[in-house]
Structure 1
């Protein structure tokens, strides 16, 4: 059975995140693992408090299960609960492996380690920690997509990433637009770009795909405008670095309510199979450094502070 790992906080937007996960779980279908990480600072969190947090999750799940879905669909979804002390980024990798998650689904404005961040910053950090695709859902009630856009540089995109997307076709059985942007100076490379697009489409084997080769020297803005033009409800990206992913969630786009910040964004795993360790605050960075120093295996992991 397919598995959705859904980290939640206790903000109002968490209800929208879970509502979207419920719809996806019914369509796929999939089991939902609800994860809550309770920040407790340096002091241990009493077991009774963790039990109370789990009960809050169960109450939210049961309320949405029957308010949002039909009785038949609500009964079909199987839920599991994980309530842990600490920060999400400390646990998400292990939890994704433990439940064999096929997809991690979290809110755009998720609060991690008790800290509010610019929308998408925590999601960008989590994307570097899990090896499965990550779906970032903005606040608000929305339906599942009936049109998808996959914007990438298909010349450098590793073909081994595409099966990760193909495996999600059952969850998102909708037309998929493959979009490759090129700068005006790259016009002589159009033939090479077309070949890369065709190769990706053939390797992906999506039910219905349409390739687009578009000239634009600002691919991110071009992707957002293209999504708005075709009324896409889901943008798929395959960033080559954490910095590139952070660009999608830049504060200027959130302030101007760019189209791509108003629809879910599906982040495919980075080309490299390594996953970087990420710290969201000084305390967590110090803890991460201690854990790395105790490790007997050499590592190239590095801590990044998301400001």
Structure 2
């Protein structure tokens, strides 16, 4: 049984996050762990206050279960509740490991530790702490995607990340467009870019996919325009760093209602986190050591002007 870990706060947008998780749980199928972190429980009776918060969560879950879903689907989903004292970023890593979560969901404007920041900032912080994909859901009721876009720098994307995306194919059985943006200065590398894009597509083996190599000196604006052109309902990104993810959720895009902030975003684990290569035998160990060693530059005899 697959597991969705749904981090909620008590804002109105939390209902939309849970409603989206319900649809995923029915389609996949999966069980749902509802997580709520209460920032400042009362000093006198903290346990009693946490029980009150759990009852609020149960009321929300039961209301949506029978308002949104059919009776059969509502009974099929198994819910578990985790109400903890403290901040989400202090508990999320342990909770993902505890329930072996396959996917974490949270709202774009999630409030963590009682603090409200620019939309997506808390999500960017949580993405650094979890080892599984993170699905960021903006406010509003949405259906599951019928078209998806996967944008990344496929030159540096670790292929070990792609199986995590392939495992979600049952939850998102929709056409997938892989897009690689490059700057005008990278035109001489078009062949290498296209090869990396094709390699990722073949390794992913998505049932219906297409590849696109596009030139754009502002990739973030290009992502939004491309998603709008394709009418995508889900954007998948694999940021190379936390700074890149923060730029993706920059306040200017939320203020201008950029297209990529109005659709759910699936954040794959950072491409900078490379898995160490393990040698299976002495021969492989020697090969890995040779690849890691600095290569000496050989003389280019063809460039020498002989007398």
Q: TM-score, normalised by structure 1?
A: 0.87
User: Which sections of structure 2, spanning at least 5 residues, go unmatched?
Assistant: 275-307
Distance change in 2, residues 1:45/1:259 (3 Å):
farther
Superposition map of 1:206-285 within 5 A: 206-273=206-273
* In 1: Cα distance, 2:45 partner to 2:262 partner: 36
Query: 2:182 — aligned with what?
Result: 182
| Other-structure match for 1:292 | none
SS at match of 2:174: coil
Higher mean Cα deviation, 249-258 or 36-45?
36-45
User: Retained in 2: the 8 A contact 1:131–1:273?
Assistant: no
Deviation string 1:126-152 (CA, Å, 9 cap, x unpaired) is 000000000000000000001000001
- Look up the match of 1:31: 31
Which SS does the other structure have where 2:154 is aligned?
coil
| Corresponding residue of 1:191 | 191
**Partner-residue secondary structure (3-state), 1:245:** helix
Q: Could you tell me which residue of structure 1 aligns to residue 4 of structure 2?
A: 4
Cα RMSD (Å) = 1.3
Q: Secondary structure at the match of 1:214?
A: strand
Q: Secondary structure at the match of 2:14?
A: helix
Q: Quote the offset at 1:260 in angstroms.
A: 0.2
C-alpha spacing 1:186/1:45, structure 2 compared with 1 (3 Å): farther
Structure 2 counterparts to residues 59-98 of structure 1, below 5 A: 59-98=59-98
CA distance in 2, matches of 1:224, 1:271: 21
1:201 corresponds in structure 2 to 201
What's the secondary structure of 1:132's corresponding residue? coil
Shift of 1:5: 0.2
2:273 and 2:234 map into 1 onto residues whose CA distance is 24
Contact 1:110 1:123 (8 Å CA) reproduced: yes
Equivalent pairs counted in the alignment come to 274
What is the rounded CA distance, in whole Å, between the counterparts of 1:93 and 1:59 in structure 2?
A: 26
Cα displacement (A) at 1:189: 1.1
Contact 1:182 1:216 in 2 (8 A): yes
Partner of 2:148 in structure 1? 148
What CA distance in whole angstroms lies between the structure 2 residues aligned with 1:42 and 1:102? 33
Aligned equivalents of 1:71, 1:190: Cα separation in 2: 53
Structure 1 outlier segments of 4+, above 2 Å = 41-45, 271-274
Residue 131 (structure 1) aligned with residue 131 (structure 2): yes
Superposed CA deviations along residues 80-104 of structure 1, whole A, max 9, x for unmatched, are 0000000000000000000000000
Residues 103 and 132 in structure 2, CA contact (< 8 A), matched pair in contact too: yes
Per-residue deviation at 1:42?
A: 9.5
Quick one: distance in 2 between partners of 1:96 and 1:178? 28
Render the CA deviation track for 1:9-37: whole Å, top value 9, x for unaligned: 00000000000000010000000000000
Q: Are residues 1:99 and 2:109 paired?
A: no
The SS at the match of 2:35 is strand
* TM-score of the two chains, using structure 2 as the length reference: 0.87
Cα deviation for residue 194 of structure 1 reads 0.8
Contiguous gaps of at least 5 residues in structure 1: 275-307
